Amino acid sequence: MSRDLDIIFSALADPTRRAILAMLLEDDMAVTDVAAPFAMSLAAISKHLGVLTRAGLVVQERRGRVVWCKLEPDAMAKATVWIQGFGQFEPIHLDDYERFLAAERLSPPVD
């Protein structure tokens, strides 16, 4: 499992790959459509898609001459389970904390 997590987190470490995943969250896309918003070559995008595919986060399928990319959300399950293990900690709500500090400053000291 550790190796799988390493591969997934390594794939997620790159901002271009995260942007690709966000695009594929909307719908399946042809490789050329995935590449369109990026200022890089189609070959560079294909390499990013290869990393995402090897991590199991994306599935590529050839339909005629077009290669389609599809998000594989279940592949994120291992990473999600690992991250949720840290959910035992109470989140800090900064607005509540600021109100608490303001109230402390306004309260008279207790003797």
The more confident residue out of 90 and 39 is 39
pLDDT at 45: 97
The domains found in the chain, sorted by start residue, are 2-106 (1.10.10.10)
pTM beyond 0.85: the answer is no
| Alpha-helical segments (H) within the chain | 2-12, 15-26, 31-35, 42-54, 77-84, 94-106
- Digit-coded pLDDT (tens) for 1-29: 678 889 999 999 999 999 999 999 999 99
Q: Distance between CA atoms of 97 and 15, rounded to whole angstroms?
A: 32
User: What does the pLDDT look like over 52-111, one tens digit per residue?
Assistant: 999 999 999 999 999 999 999 888 888 888 888 777 656 667 777 778 777 777 766 655
Give CB contacts under 8 A, 24+ apart, made by 49-57.
49/20, 51/10, 51/11, 51/14, 51/17, 52/11, 52/17, 52/20, 52/21, 54/7, 54/11, 55/7, 55/8, 55/10, 55/11, 56/4, 56/7, 56/8, 57/8, 57/11, 57/12, 57/21
Looking at residue 90, what is its pLDDT? Answer: 62
